[in-house]
């Protein structure tokens, strides 16, 4: 039995790692809790502000060790999604955790050293891996912070120190929540105004519906769109692999100039997928060189050089 998983054997229900950030009061926590079977790691102690019918079991966090203990406890088995609110507070608690383990990580002025931020990055990466190994998705909630690049103002997640950009690399999605008139939207495509990340092919801007009929937006819209994208990608990959096998079979059937021209005529008509045009042209080139045939541009056909 092979230990390797083939691309066409991958499931479309792989966990998702996501960050949602924006201004206070835009419903970020409620949005995150609209994912499937959520549990809240409440570093911000803000669950009481969520409408009662949308509240869920939570860990009221005092230190990072509590989170590690929860992950090992088995209590998370009934849940599909771990919501961590807020990311900024998580990084702060991680900073305390690594500084307790290694007091040298704290400098004389009380700030963390570069090595400490490296240790935080490792902790964050391990957290994502642990959650994924449990086959659960994770959604981080964060506040926004205004920043400047020269005269250009933009917003980014409010995360301490140098860890923000490193953390984003670990995520599939980062969405910016904002009010546009009376409508709330979440945007996953980066712009000059805000940071975002959209590695799973979601629409760039999605309108968030009100919660009168319930709170299932993340599961119904975002997760569904991701699963459809993954399914489409898997189907395209399967077509791609089948096309390459068909090209190989056609190239293998080239025995003379006539079959070379027949193969060329057949292959140039296929609709390309990714690099299949380059693939079959290389095969034709190798076959023509073996036959010592050259391409005549006037006749648009291969022919043998005259003796």
List strand residue ranges (DSSP E) for 133-277, in order.
Answer: 137-149, 152-157, 173-180, 183-187, 197-198, 205-208
How far apart (Å, rounded) are the C-alpha atoms in residues 286 and 271?
22
Residue 19 confidence (pLDDT) above 70: yes
**Residue of 167, 171, 146 lying closest to 17 (CA atoms):** 171
CATH dotted code for 12-215: 3.40.50
Q: What is the pTM of this model?
A: 0.81
Of the given ranges (48-57, 60-69, 141-150, 189-198), which has the lowest mean pLDDT? 141-150
What pLDDT does 37 receive? 95
How far apart (Å, rounded) are the C-alpha atoms in residues 81 and 76?
9
Q: Summarize the confidence of residues 156-171 as an average pLDDT.
A: 75
**Residue of 150, 140, 212 lying closest to 170 (CA atoms):** 140
Q: Where are the domains of the chain?
A: 12-215, 230-304
What pLDDT does 6 receive? 66
Task: Please list the residues that pair with 303 across neighbouring strands.
Answer: 294
What pLDDT does 297 receive? 92
Q: How confident is the model at residue 192 (pLDDT cuts 50, 70, 90)?
A: confident
What pLDDT does 21 receive? 95
What pLDDT does 46 receive? 87
List strand residue ranges (DSSP E) for the chain, in order.
Answer: 17-22, 38-42, 58-60, 81-85, 137-149, 152-157, 173-180, 183-187, 197-198, 205-208, 293-296, 301-304
pLDDT above 70: percentage of residues in the chain: 93
What pLDDT does 8 receive? 59
Q: Summarize the confidence of residues 286-301 as an average pLDDT.
A: 94
Residue 306 confidence (pLDDT) above 80: no
Q: How confident is the model at residue 187 (pLDDT cuts 50, 70, 90)?
A: very high
Residue 237 confidence (pLDDT) above 60: yes
């Amino acid at each position: 039995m092979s230990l390797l998983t083939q691309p066409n054997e991958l499931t479309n229900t792989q966990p998702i790692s996501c960050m949602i950030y924006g201004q206070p009061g835009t419903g970020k926590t409620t949005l995150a809790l609209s994912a499937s079977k959520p549990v809240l790691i409440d570093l911000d102690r803000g669950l009481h502000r969520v409408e009662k019918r949308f509240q869920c079991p939570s860990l009221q966090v005092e230190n990072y060790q509590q989170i590690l203990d929860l992950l090992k406890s088995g209590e998370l088995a009934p849940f599909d999604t771990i919501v961590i609110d807020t990311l900024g507070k998580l990084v702060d608690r991680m900073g305390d955790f690594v500084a307790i383990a290694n007091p040298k990580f704290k400098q004389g002025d009380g700030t963390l050293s570069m090595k400490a931020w490296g240790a935080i990055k490792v902790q964050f990466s391990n957290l994502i891996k642990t959650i994924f190994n449990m086959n659960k998705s994770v959604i981080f909630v964060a506040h926004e912070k205004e920043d400047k690049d020269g005269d250009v103002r933009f917003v980014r997640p409010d995360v301490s120190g140098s860890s923000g950009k490193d953390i984003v690399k670990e995520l599939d999605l980062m969405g910016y929540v904002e009010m546009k008139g009376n409508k709330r939207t979440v945007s996953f495509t980066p712009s000059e105004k805000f940071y975002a990340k959209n590695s799973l092919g979601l629409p760039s801007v999605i309108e968030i519906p009100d919660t009168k009929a319930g709170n299932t937006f993340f599961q119904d819209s975002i997760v569904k769109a991701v699963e459809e994208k993954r399914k489409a990608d898997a189907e395209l990959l399967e077509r791609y692999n089948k096309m390459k096998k068909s090209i190989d079979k056609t190239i293998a059937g080239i025995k003379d100039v006539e079959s070379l021209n027949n193969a060329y005529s057949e292959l140039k008509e296929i609709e390309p997928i990714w690099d299949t045009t380059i693939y079959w042209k290389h095969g034709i080139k190798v076959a023509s060189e073996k036959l010592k045939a050259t391409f005549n541009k006037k006749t648009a056909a291969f022919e043998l050089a005259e003796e």
